[in-house]
Structure 1
Amino acid sequence: MLYRLGADGLVLFHLLFIVFVLLGGLLTLKWRAALWWHLPALCWGIAVEFLHLPCPLTDWENHLRHAAGLAGYQGGFIEHYVWPIIYPAGLTPGIQWLLGSVVVLVNAVVYLRVLRQRPHHPASG
């Protein structure tokens, strides 16, 4: 029971991490310190999409499910939980590039705005 609870909690954390990768830059508009958390997460999310890296959270989820006596799943978190809801077809490398591009575009717009809002201090003289 505890292993299954851990696996389900990890799935929820995984989903929240993905949302943070996509939209966490918006937090930097209000709290600049958030960028120290968001930039590494953003880099990891982009790398996973563009380089097709396996996410360690997926392996951990599967390990906990097996320890609970349940079947794990093949593929990544996106393929297993998100894509079946949005699209019935499997995730292709082309779609992963599209998703990665959306992440880059959304965050580029946000960070350009963050840079423009940076306080300008007049030169002291």
Structure 2
Amino acid sequence: MWYRLLADLIAAVHLLFIGYVVAGGFVAWRLPRTIWLHGLAAAWGFGTVLIGYDCPLTYGENWARQRAGISGLPPEGFIDHYLTGVIYPESMLLEVRVLVAACVLVSWAGLWWRTRRAPGGAGVGIAG
């Protein structure tokens, strides 16, 4: 039972991480000092898609699921198991990836714009 609970907890953290990859740049609009953290998260997220390396959260969930006596995630991983075909149709995978990349780029461009256009003409900068 505890391993099943751990697997569910890891899956929830994984989903939150993916949400942060998509929307963390917008969080940085309010907390500009967090943009470096979002940069790392986005680099990791895009790397798992583009390069194809395994995510340690997927490994952790598989480990806990196997200890709980249930099957692990399929080789395709977390996103294919929980999101593709569930949240969006499998035929829209490319469009979803482009939309995620667009969200990241728009959030970063918006942060740049906001830090350059502070009230009174003085930029607030990333540090402030």
TM-score normalized by the length of structure 1: 0.82
Pairwise CA distance, 1:12: 0.4
Equivalent residue letter for 2:107: V
Equivalent residue letter for 1:9: L
Name the % identity.
33
Equivalent residue letter for 2:29: L
The match for 1:103 is 100
Instruction: State how 1:61-72 maps to structure 2 within 5 Å.
Output: 61-72=61-72
The match for 2:87 is 86
Change (3 A) 1:101 1:87: closer
The match for 1:115 is 112
The match for 2:78 is 77
Contact 1:25 1:107 (8 Å CA) reproduced: yes
Instruction: State how 1:24-35 maps to structure 2 within 5 Å.
Output: 24-35=24-35
SS in 2 for 1:116: helix
Pairwise CA distance, 1:45: 0.7
SS in 1 for 2:86: helix
The match for 1:40 is 40
Give the number of aligned pairs. Answer: 118
Equivalent residue letter for 1:76: G
Residues 53-108 of structure 1: per-residue CA shift (max 9 Å, x gap): 2222111101101111222121210111111313564x8xx93x544432222111
Cα distance in structure 2, aligned partners of 1:107 and 1:6? 30
